[in-house]
Structure formats: structure tokens, C-alpha cells
Amino acid sequence: MSFVLNMLNGGVQELLNYLSAHVITCLVPAFFIAGAMAVLVTKGAVIKYFGVQAKRWVAYGVASVSGMLLAVCSCTVLPLFAGIYNLGAGLGPAITFLYSGPAINILAISLTGAAIGWQMGVARGVGAILFSIVIGIIMSVLFRKEESKRLGEIEHLPEENSEKPGAFLVLFFGVMVAVLIVSTSKLTPWIKIAIDISLINSLAIMVHHYFVKGEFESWMSETWSLVKIVVPTLLIGVFVVGMVTAVIPPEWISRYVGDNTLGANLAASLVGALFYFSTLTEVPIVKGLMDLGMNEGPALALLLAGPAVSIPNLLVVNQIMGLKRTAAYFVLVVLMATLTGWMYGLFLI
Amino acid sequence: MKIEVLGTGCPKCKQLEKDVYNALAELDVAADVSKVKDMKKIMSYKVMTTPALVIDGQVKISGRMPRKEELHQYIRESE
């Protein structure tokens, strides 16, 4: 009986931890940013850099960061991946996009920062971008002789929303990121509120002058639909992690992944690569493991290998590019996550 | 008229399918509606973003949700 109570108590404690001010003040602005990106960033503008004619290095560069703009869940990532592979710039940039997409979206990075620590959030973001380019290039070198035949060119369709000037988008998203940073900073509460109110006012002015009819509504409905997709599974994930970590003896964790050894990093990246983490639940899982004594290196390895690769995702990727390339991708992700985690644990802490 | 909704099963793709049925009912138009989940088939329409709407083999929308009036217009045009 006390075992069950202990578990439930752990789950509730962990939930309360996530419902605390610092996580909510970070997640709420992040949801609005992600929603605005889905509505305002015209996909056509990004996709043209993935075309057959695009310069190689441009395609890699755009693929490594565009996940931030385009992708929140793997259901947008996979069609784009298949598209880049079959219709556009080919295997290398497609792999770069496939890897970085789910790892660097704004929600994942800000939640990692708020729940685990900003150093880990930054390490995850920077690690994922570099790592995705390296994996993409290695894949395209490995399979350079057998690039598949392209199915054709991408079809360009007119977009519904008015295209905004680049300077406006930079300013608009810059102000929203400023809200996120101010809200999560350590300033005294009334200063925070004062700065936030003025920033939000300037957003309102921008919306009033630059948005065409219907865009504000689509922004809000996009934000709400993201909340509906992400929050329930995240809360369930947090609760389950809290229950499980309440009853696992810490020695188990510290024995396997307590030190920053290559073996511990390999174990962490294998676990990350095989299991499916629903959007953002990787963060409470890693946080729970770290509370039980997991070292920072393996924690980063798990975060790097986790969201990008999982068995269901590999099955779809396998349909698109075949077993040989999928296996090579899997091995590369595990090896690179192991090495990056190990180096992070070794040099940066 | 043949309407295809392309999507891998994400919430928006399901919503688009519902919207199509609602629009057909409201306009009182008959059509053969199907859902395309196979990635190879989706790629054969040369779209990279889902949800996408294909009417009689022609891609009308990709990567976003159509407004109601817009969807009605596409259906009326193809009738």
C-alpha cells in the first residue's frame, strides 16, 4: 500500500513541479511563437532552398535550422523529408532536416531550458544543428554512387497568407522571443511584468498594422491546436515519470549512467534511439533520470538521440529510402549522440 | 468528382477530411472521397507538405488548412 502511495505522491509532486511558474512562463510564450511560425512563415519561401537547383551548402544550412520554423511534430517532418529526398536537394539535406527538425523546435528547446537548465537547452540546440549537418554529409558521401532517381520537381502552389517583409518577421519574432526571455529571467516580478506589458503592447500594434484579415484568428487557433496536441501527453508523461522515479532505487541509475563514460553515453543514446518519446516528453524523462543521478553527458546523449529517431519513425523512413540507408542513419545517430554527450560531459561542465 | 486528402495521419489531416465531408454535405454535392496515407503516393503528387487536397488529380492546397469558403469554391469549380 505504501508503495502505491509513494508512487502516486511522486507523480503528483512532479506534476506540481512542472506547473510551477518558471515552466509555465516559458511554455506559454513558446506556444504563441510556434503558432505564429506555422501561420506567418510561408512554407514555399523555405522550401525553395531545398530544390534541385539550390546550392549544396545553402540546402544543408537551411535544412539544419528550418526545423525551428516548420516542424513541431514528426507528422510535418516526414512528408518534408520524403519531399527533399525524392523531389529536391537529395539524401544529404533530407537527412539533415529529418534529424534536426524535431530536435530544435522552439518548444523543445525552451522546455529543456526551463526544466533542466539553460546550459542543457543551448547544448541541445547547438548540438542538434551541428550534428545534423555532419550526419547529412556523411550519409551523402556514403551513398554518393547510388543517389536515387528523382521523381520530379516540387510543385509550387500559391499560399493563402500575405507574405510579410523579412524585416517585419525578424522584429515580430524577436519581440516574442524577448517576452520569453524576460518572463523566464531572474528579474524582480514587477519589472518583468512591466517589460512584458510594453512588449506585448508593441506586438499588438504590429498585429493591428500588418496582419490581414483572418491571420490573427489563424494564429490563435494554431496556437490552441498545438496546446491541445502537446499538453495532455506532456502532463501524462510528467506524471508517469514522477511515479516511476519515486520507486526506482537511485543506485540502478547511477550504476549504469551515473558517470560520463563512453559506455554510459552509448547506453543512453541507444535507449533514446529505440524508444518513442511523444513530443516533449523526452524532457521530463531526462529530468527524472538526472534527479536520480544520471550524468550530464549521457543526459545530453539521450536528448540528442531521443526525439529524432524511434522505431515507428524508422519504419516510415525505411519505406522512403530503403533498409541500407535507414540502418546507416540509425548507426550514425547513435554513434554521434554518444560522442557528443561524452565530449559535453568531459569538457563543458 | 474525385477528392483525395493527402496526409500521414496528423490531426490537421483528419480535420481536413472532416471539413471536406461537411462541405460536400452543405453544398449537396456527391464525390468520391479518399484518404491517401502512403508516402510514395503522396510524393507522386509532388507536394512536400501535408495536409494536401487533390481534386480530380489536381493539387489544390498543400501544407495548410483551407478556409471554409475557399474549400466550397474548389468543390463548386470542379463540379
* Residues A243-269: tens digit of each pLDDT: 888 888 888 888 888 888 999 999 999
What the block records as the C-alpha cell of A214 is 483572418
Helix (H) or strand (E) segment spanning residue A347: helix A311-347
What pLDDT score does A14 carry?
A: 85
CA distance A304 to A269: 8
* Residues B15-43: tens digit of each pLDDT: 899 999 999 999 999 999 999 988 888 88
What pLDDT score does A250 carry?
A: 83
Could you list the active site residues of B? 10, 13
What pLDDT score does A26 carry?
A: 84
Counting one residue from A and one from B, how many pairs have CB atoms under 8 Å apart? 75
Residues of A in contact with B71 (CB under 8 A): none
Does residue A199 have a pLDDT over 90? yes
Does residue A161 have a pLDDT over 70? no
CA distance A283 to A303: 8
A48 touches chain B (CB under 8 A): no
* pLDDT level of residue B54 (50, 70, 90 thresholds): very high
A54 touches chain B (CB under 8 A): no
By Cβ distance, the residue of B10, B43, B66 closest to A86 is: B43
Query: Residue A236: how many CB atoms within 10 A of its CB?
Result: 15
The CA R_g of chain B, rounded to the nearest whole Å, is 11
What pLDDT score does A163 carry?
A: 67
Q: What are the Cα distances from residue A128, in Å, to A87, A97, A241? A: 25, 11, 24
Average pLDDT score over residue span A151-165? 61
What pLDDT score does A147 carry?
A: 62
Q: Please provide the average confidence, as pLDDT, over all residues in chain A.
A: 84
Does residue A299 have a pLDDT over 60? yes
What pLDDT score does B50 carry?
A: 81
More confident residue, A213 or A174: A174
Q: What are the Cα distances from residue A190, in Å, to A186, A197, A204, A206, A246? A: 11, 11, 21, 25, 36
- Percent of chain A exceeding pLDDT 90 equals 21
By Cβ distance, the residue of A78, A154, A214 closest to B46 is: A154
Average pLDDT score over residue span A298-318? 86
A148 touches chain B (CB under 8 A): no
What pLDDT score does A102 carry?
A: 77
Q: Please provide the average confidence, as pLDDT, over all residues in chain B.
A: 87
